[in-house]
Amino acid sequence: MYLNKNISNYFLILFCIIPISYIAGSAVSVANILLIDISFIILILYHQDFTFLKSKTITYLLFLYAYLIFNSFISLNILEGLYRNFGFLRFIILFVAINYFFLDPKFYKKIFKFWTVIFIVISVDVFFEQFSGSNLLGYSYGDRIGIEGVKSDRIVSFFKNEPIVGGFINSFFLLLFGFLLHQKKKNRILFCGGFLAICFLAITFTGERSSTIKAFFGLLLFIFFIRHLSIKFKFLISCSLIILIVFLVLNFRFLNIRFSSNIYSIFNNHTIYFDLYKSGLQVFDNNKIFGVGNKNYRIETCTNKVKLKNDEKKYYYCNTHPHQVYIEFLSEHGLFGTFVIFFLLIRLVFSKIIKTYYESNYLKIGTLIYMIFVFTPIIPSGSFFSNNLLTIFMINLSIFYAVDQKTNVFKKNFIK
């Protein structure tokens, strides 16, 4: 793979600003990805390199795309999910582009170094907002109304009015930790530990319960994947993490309220998520085979608030999605679509777990753990096919394949 230096630098900038564009908003993020896609299509047409089309990985992604197009035409409202389903093509092109450029370690190392700095700044900003009441740019969570209908006490950081910064850090910190572990520099372990600590604490201090739980267990799983560590040392680290979480929850009032109130609500069945889950399962019960269609959950629950079945009233809870990925798949895609999606996810992700463990490629391990925990049962989650979550998931999936010459779809044409 040989590229003109100006072209290489152009794509380098576009990839470097992916996290910044994501923070700037959905429109900016989509625009950046489309710019990468269009530029890459022009480049690939110029070089006439279409060998990636022979990859089974690309076949699986195209099959998923074909299913989503089919899903559009069996939806309650065809136009509602049409943009989302047809727009999935941009992620396939992004996947190919990342594979093309990231096969060169020198290229992706520059990007990950830049991303590391970005996430350190974001983590510091989380601490600043937590202890001062507003972030470095003056944004504050004080005026935001949460899903429970009351003022939110969660950190927004640079996201201004969305409390998703914990999930955002959680999406990349293990990937970047894996990258840093591969660096052969002095004080590597010290820097890796510092980066891990600042990111994990930042996630915890956001007050995002789901993200904190996923980060905690994700970190434990990452430690398990590090094969050269002794069982005794892994056990020591695991115990230290548990003690740290307990200490923080007990000694910081806002964390105590966030986590203890959540546990109380679960045992007393008073949490709003139970209503969302029940509603989602009722949508599935009324649309078992194909579901209501991608992005049609709101159409079903907000326009048909009461369903009658067997002379028994079944109430829907009006919302954009049921806030749990499995229930989302069942309600919007039914048994057929859920089977298709999970078949492809098994082929693309879950079938690689054992092999990744033995490869000890920490970059791949970081991305793999994130993708695994996207599908954590019971714990609330965002909508999988929304632009925000799908963008991060596809970036992690792309990097997972791209940084390994054995799985990269351009592996046969690689020239150092």
User: What averages of pLDDT result for each successive group of 10 residues across the chain (416 residues)?
Assistant: 82 97 94 97 91 93 97 90 91 97 93 96 92 82 47 75 90 94 77 91 89 92 87 86 85 75 52 83 92 92 60 69 93 96 96 91 95 91 91 97 92 51
| pTM, two decimal places | 0.90
Q: Are 99 and 409 in contact (CB under 8 A)?
A: yes
Q: Are 63 and 366 in contact (CB under 8 A)?
A: no
pLDDT of residue 150: 41
Q: Indicate the domain borders of the chain.
A: 5-48+88-268+360-413, 59-82+271-343
pLDDT of residue 308: 41
pLDDT of residue 106: 93
pLDDT of residue 412: 58
